[in-house]
Amino acid sequence: ELSAIVPVRERQKIVRTAVSKFRAAIQLQFDFHQAIYNLGTMLYGLAEDTLRSGLKMNSKEMTPNELYSQSAIYICCSPCFEAKLF
């Protein structure tokens, strides 16, 4: 948990870097269920941090509600890939 040791602005930068790395891993292997799940949890954390911090967002960034929505999609889809149904 980064919240205890890292300020919000730095934490958001770390989380955004992690999100981009998880997305890259998923592009390399679309059924990498751990990366899919972890991406969902990182997006959820980013939404929480964005809401808590009250920082202004630029037009390129997703709103917390959009982040929560994407988070739910990734987290809910990850077990499907774990089962190797495809």
C-alpha–C-alpha distance, residues 44 and 71, integer Å: 5
State residue 83's pLDDT score. 67
State residue 1's pLDDT score. 63
State residue 8's pLDDT score. 72
CB atoms within 10 A of CB 66: 12
Q: What is the mean pLDDT of each run of 10 residues along the chain (86 residues)?
A: 73 88 94 94 90 74 92 92 66
| 3-state secondary structure (DSSP) of residue 32 | coil
Q: Please tell me the pTM assigned to this model.
A: 0.81
Q: What distance, in Å, lies between the first and last C-alpha atoms of the chain?
A: 34
State residue 86's pLDDT score. 52
State residue 27's pLDDT score. 95
